[in-house]
Amino acid sequence: MTMMLTRRHLLLAACAPLGLRPAWAQAAWAAIESAARGQTVYFNAWGGSERINAYIRWAGSELRRLHGVALEHVKLADTAEMVRRVRAEKAAGRSDGSADLVWINGENFLAMKREGLLFGPFAEALPNYRYVDIDGKPTTRIDFAEPVDGMEAAWGMAQLTFYVDAARAPLPQPTGVAGLLDWCRAQPGRFSYPKPPQFIGTTFLKQVLAELGGDRAALARPYTAEAFARLTPPLWTALDRLHPHLWRGGLQFPASPGALRQMVSDGELAMGLTFNPNEAANEIAAQTLPPTVTSFQPRAGSIGNTHFVAIPFNARASAGAQVAANFLQSPLAQARKADIRHWGDPTVLALDKLGPADRALFSASAGAPGMVREPAPVWPEPHGSWVEPLEAEWLRRYG
Amino acid sequence: MAQAHVLSAGVRGGQALARVAAGLLFALPLAAAVPLALHEAADAGAWRALASDPQTLPAAWLALSSAVLGTAIAAALALWLTTALHGSPAWQRLSAALAPMLALPHAAFAIGLAWLVAPTGAIARALAALLGWQAPPPWQSVNDPWALGLTAVLVFKELPFILWNMAALLARPEVAADIERQVAVARTMGYDRRSWWWRVGWPQWSPRLAWPLLAVLAYALTVVDLGLIIGPGSPPTLAVLAYADLQAGSPARNARGAAATVLLALLLACTVAAVAVAWRVGAAAWRRAATRGRRPAPARHGSAGAGWAAPALQVVYALVGVTLLVLSVAGVWTFPAAWPQSLTLEAWRQVHAAADSVGFTAALAASASLAALVLTVAWLEATPPRWDRRASVLVLAPLVLPPLLLMAGLYQGALYLRLDGSWLGLAWVHTLVVLPYSFITLQPAWRSFDPRYEPVALALGRRRWAFWWRVKWPLLAAPLAASAAVGFAVSVAQFLATQFLGAGRHATVTTEAVTLASGGQRTLAAAFALLQALLPLAGFAAAAWVRRRTMHR
């Protein structure tokens, strides 16, 4: 079965760029759709945002209407809960698992893929895969330097983005790391970043490294001590100069991006950072950030990645999960997700691959307060093996 | 004679049954789950990583100092307040006020207190209005590097818990009467009430608080959410470090987190051993000092201070409560504005949406606390007191182990038994988590019950069940109700137990609150605190009512 699927997906991968869908692929999908009808899909997804929860409720109602699939949102506080649950199910030899579809990326994906906890490959056989921007957004096929291999379906895009309260810190906004130092000198104590190994904090280190290290190609290759010694000195020099001008003199750091955002909202900080380019706009709409906040990305580019949905190896409703994953990738669902009024999560689709009617769906979202005005290029994540040496060295120096 | 034989055989059978039930339902699953949970720590690389992390030592010190200091101060305050106020109307008022204090979730209290003292909080804004500050002051009043804020929250939250246990212990009719008799005798010998407590009362009663204090210490050492909200950041406490490692996707970090967990358990064991040694040494000195025969002059100031301290505690809780109410509707509220720039009912709309789960949460908590109470009573009736210490490792394991590890282990067991996702499995695992708290809160009263009542009742021709039903349990009604209320509150507060065993299919007020709070929104956390406090408040209020009734009978 696995073998067959692999061959099929290779063939599909070959055909997809040509916009061809062989008749047997259509028949196979029709079989999946009919198997999915009447199934209940337990979608294990982080539940910390009411806007995202509401979006998932909408997707559920559409799935029921269009495909007869019931989508149940299992709200997680952290994706690690689900990984451990599925791992325990595998250890207990259970083939009828508790999760059908999961929201995932990065380390959690790597762990599940390596441990054989995932179903698939399925992602490149989804009918809507042909719209995914695999050329313009290479992170839809490489998740933190780990090849996706069709084991998860791209759902949305993330990119390191700064937000600043213009009422507290007059313009101009920094355009890069050098500008950041000047900004912090002028506004001492009004910026900080979450403490690595918190994810956003580590991404900030990667951003400074990618901007100053000079050799982004070397970062894409696995870590070596030699490359680390060659590329990281500018990072530490920059942090040595930056830290005295940070919140609490760079001796203490906030625990989480949530705490950081609260401090910007309360006025203790004037600038924060996030992985969702539309977070500030979202939070302004939700009245948790003042309307004077604006977002910007480092001019040269900033670290970005993709988040996905995957299917555990023991999903009871794997057909329903595939139908759901395909729906989440559809122009209709992606356009609503990109719309700042609903969620504001950038699409994984290539708009030029869509027909005019579908493309028109995406024009609704423009110009909400707090949005990024000049989007910068996306830089892919450094190879995953860089994370631990970076974090360990940061902790040794500043922890 | 023959009848007595039959009776004692029946009792022995009952005892055996109770031991088997406690073993099968509690000890065996835990004994199976603990190794499953901790197997990741059996990795030399994890321990090397822990040893080479420069944060480990300071983080362990912060965890230990905040936990020991918080527990010690709370215990000292509880002794002082009881000494000064017990037997007076002020004591009645204080014990009646404990229910809402206990019902307020720890994290919510920390959020409220943090906001009062933060650089952008109430005090700073009041000063800003007076002094014309435009930017918040550079105070380190929240997330301070010395964990003083964390220690303060622990003192404020654990003091009511210790007082609650004390009140349940001392509210038993036969104990209250006994105390008054002894105090009267002491008076005739020239010792005032306070002297009686320090010379006679506490030497009897303070060892009874060992279990509740142990639970407080274990909680304080391993608490994560308080550490994140108000604890130090660089480095954080060891429990926070372990938690972050366990949440990470990389197996190496998971293993380091499991090792840090074992280290925390070792720290707890060392602290308990040190306290036990200090107690031995200190108790002898105490006895010498207490029996020297000196009669100190009756103190007025101590009592007056306590009369002032008890209302002060209530005022702090009231301020935190009001703060949470305001924060729950506050939109943007930038420094130095005295009132929020925008108000929003969004958080309350979501509380309303989640309120459907109240009924299910209450049913689950009621079944779990009742089952745990039955098991605890069965254990206490069926085993000699010295067995309690043998059970201590298993009783403490659910308190000390991170829920993420323990629940993964228990879930694996439930999968074999096909209990996952079922109501029965969910109720069982809640019982398992609640049971240590039932035990800790009931054991002191049960073990200090005067054993002479039983032979007297039997000699009067009463059957054993009649003695239990008509004499023992009515006398222990207050501790039973207090223990049930604590168990009920513990069940309501469970997050990962509900998520794992319920396979994410059963929503409670806490699963709704915790998942939404993971987004880090203060309005939501503040509003949901009220929903989470609602059910435990009902439980504690009911227990307080039982306590008052038994007192006045």
Alpha helices in B53-147 (DSSP H): 56-85, 89-96, 98-103, 106-117, 122-131
Question: For all residues of chain B together, what is the average pLDDT?
Answer: 87
Instruction: Tally C-beta pairs within 8 A across A and B.
Output: 176
The dihedral of CA A47, A52, A58, A60: what is its sign? Answer: negative
Chain A contact probe: residue of B500, B521, B528 with most A CBs at under 10 A:
B521
In the predicted model, what is the mean pLDDT of residues A105-120?
92
DSSP-derived secondary structure letter, A132? B
In the predicted model, what is the mean pLDDT of residues A38-59?
93
What is the C-alpha to C-alpha distance for residues B111 and B327, in angstroms, rounded to an integer? 10
- The tokens of B84 are what? 């000064």
Candidates A49, A107, A254; nearest CB to B248: A107
What is the C-alpha to C-alpha distance for residues B324 and A57, in angstroms, rounded to an integer? 29
Q: Report residue B503's pLDDT band, with 50, 70 and 90 as the boundaries.
A: confident
CA A197 to chain centroid: 17
Inform me whether the pLDDT recorded for A320 exceeds 50.
yes
Alpha helices in A243-370 (DSSP H): 257-266, 279-285, 318-328, 331-338, 356-361
Torsions phi, psi of A82, nearest 5? -70, -40
Strand partners of residue A372: A295
What pLDDT score was predicted for residue B365? 96
Q: Does B495 touch chain A (CB under 8 A)?
A: yes
Chain A contact probe: residue of B420, B422, B500, B510 with most A CBs at under 10 A:
B420
Chain A contact probe: residue of B36, B115, B250 with most A CBs at under 10 A:
B250
* A33 in the same domain as A73: yes
Inform me whether the pLDDT recorded for B475 exceeds 90.
no
* A241 in the same domain as A163: yes
DSSP-derived secondary structure letter, B38? H
Cα-based torsion angle of the residue sequence B259, B260, B265, B269 in order, rounded to the nearest 10 degrees: 100
Chain A contact probe: residue of B36, B150, B348, B411 with most A CBs at under 10 A:
B411
Candidates A80, A267, A288; nearest CB to B120: A267
Q: Do B270 and B183 meet the contact criterion of CB atoms below 8 Å apart?
A: no
Q: Report residue A2's pLDDT band, with 50, 70 and 90 as the boundaries.
A: very low
What is the C-alpha to C-alpha distance for residues B53 and B42, in angstroms, rounded to an integer? 18
Residue A231 belongs to a domain:
yes
- Report chain A residues whose CB lies below 8 A from the CB of B55: 395, 399
Residue A92 belongs to a domain:
yes
Alpha helices in A167-294 (DSSP H): 177-186, 199-212, 216-220, 225-231, 233-242, 257-266, 279-285
What pLDDT score was predicted for residue B155? 97
Chain B contact probe: residue of A49, A56, A81 with most B CBs at under 10 A:
A81
- B93-149 tens-digit pLDDT: 898 889 889 999 888 899 899 999 999 999 999 999 999 998 899 898 888 999 999
- A241-256 tens-digit pLDDT: 999 999 999 999 988 8
Question: 3-state class of A273 per DSSP?
Answer: strand
B58 φψ region: left (φ > 0), alpha (ψ -120 to 50), beta (else): alpha
Q: B 161-190 residues with CB below 8 A of A?
A: none
Q: Do B461 and B471 meet the contact criterion of CB atoms below 8 Å apart?
A: no
- The tokens of A354 are what? 């869509």
- B289-307 tens-digit pLDDT: 888 877 776 665 556 688 8
* A228 in the same domain as A101: no
In the predicted model, what is the mean pLDDT of residues B19-48?
83
The dihedral of CA B184, B190, B194, B196: what is its sign? Answer: negative
In the predicted model, what is the mean pLDDT of residues A126-141?
93
Q: How many CB atoms lie within 10 A of CB A237?
A: 11
* A60 in the same domain as A133: yes
Contact B499 A251 (CB under 8 A): no
Nearest to A6 by CA among A124, A95, A147, A142: A124
Contact A108 B249 (CB under 8 A): yes
In the predicted model, what is the mean pLDDT of residues B423-431?
92
Q: In sequence order, which residues have a C-beta less than 8 Å from that of residue B324 and are 6 or more positions away?
A: B108, B111, B112, B526, B529, B530
What is the C-alpha to C-alpha distance for residues A318 and A120, in angstroms, rounded to an integer? 10
A106 φψ region: left (φ > 0), alpha (ψ -120 to 50), beta (else): left
* A214 in the same domain as A66: no
- B142-171 tens-digit pLDDT: 889 999 999 999 999 999 999 999 988 888
* A107 in the same domain as A188: no
- What DSSP line would sit under B206-263, residue for residue? GGGGHHHHHHHHHHHHH--HHHHHHS--SS--HHHHHHHHHHSS-HHHHHHHHHHHHH
CB environment A19-55: b (16+ within 10 A), e (fewer): eeeeeebeeebeebbeebeebebbbbbbbbbbbbbeb
Domain that includes residue A329, residue range: 2-156+306-364
Inform me whether the pLDDT recorded for A4 exceeds 50.
no
Strand partners of residue A40: A70
Question: 3-state class of B325 per DSSP?
Answer: helix
Contact B333 A253 (CB under 8 A): no
* A15 in the same domain as A146: yes
- B240-274 tens-digit pLDDT: 999 888 888 788 888 999 999 999 989 999 999 99
Question: Mind telling me how many Å the CA of A12 is from chain B's nearest CA?
Answer: 31
Query: Crossing angle for the helix pair B509-517 and B358-382, nearest 10 degrees?
Result: 110
Q: Among the ranges A264-278, B174-188, B464-478, which has the highest mean pLDDT value?
A: A264-278
- Report chain B residues whose CB lies below 8 A from the CB of A87: 408
What is the C-alpha to C-alpha distance for residues B10 and B2, in angstroms, rounded to an integer? 13
Question: Mind telling me how many Å the CA of B538 is from chain A's nearest CA?
Answer: 27
- Report chain B residues whose CB lies below 8 A from the CB of A395: 53-55
- Report chain B residues whose CB lies below 8 A from the CB of A47: 515-516, 518
- A343-394 tens-digit pLDDT: 888 999 999 999 999 999 887 656 778 888 888 988 988 888 898 899 999 9
What pLDDT score was predicted for residue A9? 54
What is the C-alpha to C-alpha distance for residues A111 and A80, in angstroms, rounded to an integer? 10
Q: Report residue A62's pLDDT band, with 50, 70 and 90 as the boundaries.
A: very high
What pLDDT score was predicted for residue B5? 46
The kind and range of the H/E element at A153 are strand A152-159
CA B364 to chain centroid: 20
- Report chain B residues whose CB lies below 8 A from the CB of A398: 234
A105: nearest CA partner in chain B: B249
Q: Report residue B389's pLDDT band, with 50, 70 and 90 as the boundaries.
A: confident
DSSP-derived secondary structure letter, A152? E
* Interface pTM, i.e. ipTM: 0.85
Chain B contact probe: residue of A42, A71, A73, A74 with most B CBs at under 10 A:
A74
Contact B234 A111 (CB under 8 A): no
Q: Do A56 and A346 meet the contact criterion of CB atoms below 8 Å apart?
A: no
* A195 in the same domain as A246: yes
Which homologous superfamily is B16-291+299-551 in?
Answer: MetI-like (1.10.3720.10)
What is the C-alpha to C-alpha distance for residues B30 and B401, in angstroms, rounded to an integer? 11
Candidates A42, A254, A286; nearest CB to B504: A42
Radius of gyration for the alpha carbons in chain B, expressed in angstroms and rounded: 24
A252: nearest CA partner in chain B: B234
The dihedral of CA A325, B250, B402, B431: what is its sign? Answer: positive
Candidates A46, A92, A111; nearest CB to B249: A111
Inform me whether the pLDDT recorded for A10 exceeds 90.
no
Contact A48 B416 (CB under 8 A): no
Tokens 């002094």 — which residue? B131
In 3-state terms chain B splits into helix, strand, coil percentages (rounded to 5) of 80, 0, 20
- Report chain B residues whose CB lies below 8 A from the CB of A46: 515, 518
Residue A370 belongs to a domain:
no
Number of folded domains in chain A?
2
Measured CA to CA in angstroms, residue B223 lies from B217, B220, B227, B324, B343 at distances of 10, 5, 7, 21, 32
> For position A334, which CATH number holds?
3.40.190.10
Question: Mind telling me how many Å the CA of B6 is from chain A's nearest CA?
Answer: 46
Q: Do A25 and A8 meet the contact criterion of CB atoms below 8 Å apart?
A: yes
Contact B416 A92 (CB under 8 A): yes
- Report chain A residues whose CB lies below 8 A from the CB of B505: 42, 72, 74, 98
Q: Is B24 exposed, middle or buried (0-12, 13-18, 19+ CB in 10 A)?
A: exposed
Contact B334 A265 (CB under 8 A): yes
Residue A311 belongs to a domain:
yes
Inform me whether the pLDDT recorded for A259 exceeds 70.
yes
What is the C-alpha to C-alpha distance for residues B388 and A15, in angstroms, rounded to an integer? 70
* A311 in the same domain as A251: no
Nearest to B401 by CA among B239, B274, B229: B239
DSSP-derived secondary structure letter, B26? I
Query: Crossing angle for the helix pair B392-400 and B28-38, nearest 10 degrees?
Result: 50
* A386 in the same domain as A253: yes
- Report chain B residues whose CB lies below 8 A from the CB of A389: none
Candidates A197, A290, A399; nearest CB to B334: A290
Q: Does B158 touch chain A (CB under 8 A)?
A: no
- Report chain A residues whose CB lies below 8 A from the CB of B228: 255-256
Tokens 């969620």 — which residue? A343
- What DSSP line would sit under A174-188, residue for residue? P-SHHHHHHHHHHST
A110: nearest CA partner in chain B: B249
Question: Mind telling me how many Å the CA of A255 is from chain B's nearest CA?
Answer: 6
Radius of gyration for the alpha carbons in chain A, expressed in angstroms and rounded: 22
More reliable by pLDDT, B294 or A320: A320
What is the C-alpha to C-alpha distance for residues B545 and B539, in angstroms, rounded to an integer? 10
Q: How many CB atoms lie within 10 A of CB A214?
A: 12
The dihedral of CA B505, B509, B513, B516: what is its sign? Answer: positive
What pLDDT score was predicted for residue B299? 61
Contact A189 B138 (CB under 8 A): yes
What pLDDT score was predicted for residue A243? 96
CA B533 to chain centroid: 15
Q: How many CB atoms lie within 10 A of CB B423?
A: 16
Q: B 307-346 residues with CB below 8 A of A?
A: 331-336, 341-342, 344, 346
Lowest mean pLDDT among A44-53, A108-117, A304-313, B517-526: B517-526
CA angle A75, B409, B500 (to 5 degrees): 20
* A264 in the same domain as A193: yes
Measured CA to CA in angstroms, residue A201 lies from A194, A207, A254, A271, A282 at distances of 5, 10, 10, 14, 21
Question: Mind telling me how many Å the CA of B209 is from chain A's nearest CA?
Answer: 35
Residue A369 belongs to a domain:
no
* A99 in the same domain as A16: yes
Question: Mind telling me how many Å the CA of A206 is from chain B's nearest CA?
Answer: 18
What pLDDT score was predicted for residue B405? 83
More reliable by pLDDT, A4 or A53: A53
pTM: 0.89
What is the C-alpha to C-alpha distance for residues B542 and B488, in angstroms, rounded to an integer? 11
